[in-house]
Amino acid sequence: MTYPQLKLSSQICHRLYKASNGISRAYRTWLTELDLTYPQYVVMMALWEENQLSIATLVEKTGIDGGAMTQILKKMSDKGLLTIVKDEDDKRKRWVTLTGKGIELQHQAAAIPEKIRCKFPSIDDQQAQQLIELLDKINHDLGESDA
């Protein structure tokens, strides 16, 4: 017995999976030059937007699991990109702040979004905006925080 609803060609999730893997591969070249993994790059983008965030805020903004975030931040601290300090009033709370090296890395990373955008020559700017809106809806419906 066959189930047409189980065909890969009918699945949104499989298309998202393939696209996600392809995008990760596309980033790899430029992120390797910066000595960053993609999750580390996401953390850096959040901190470039607003330097000094609590770990809880970073988890919320990036959508990275708390346990994974702890490991990511440790590796980034070891690289000298950021510091992690305890809050003076609430010792359970930790603040993440970029170092000078982390701030400088932003200049090196500035061209990456345009390089990635060039990987999609068949998608115009309007379609790219529509895709962002659709993905935001998917993430909302799945209970994920918006980017």
State the CATH number of the domain containing residue 136. Answer: 1.10.10.10
pLDDT, tens digit (0-9, with 9 covering 90-100), for 2-36: 888 888 888 999 999 999 999 999 999 999 999 99
pTM to 2 decimal places: 0.87
Q: Is residue 119 part of a domain?
A: yes
Going by pLDDT thresholds of 50, 70 and 90, the confidence category of residue 92 is confident
Q: Is residue 12 part of a domain?
A: no
Q: How many domains does the chain have?
A: 1
Contacts of 49-54 spanning 24+ positions with Cβ under 8 A: 51/97, 51/98, 51/103, 52/95, 52/96, 52/97, 53/95, 53/96, 54/87, 54/93, 54/94, 54/95, 54/96
Ramachandran angles phi, psi of 82, nearest 5°: -155, 165
Q: Is the pLDDT confidence value at 131 over 90?
A: yes
pLDDT, tens digit (0-9, with 9 covering 90-100), for 40-82: 999 999 999 999 999 999 999 999 999 999 999 999 999 999 9
Domain span at residue 55 reads 36-141
Q: Residue 144: which of 44, 53, 16 has the closest Cα?
A: 16
Q: Which two tokens stand for residue 43?
A: 């953390």
Q: Is residue 104 part of a domain?
A: yes
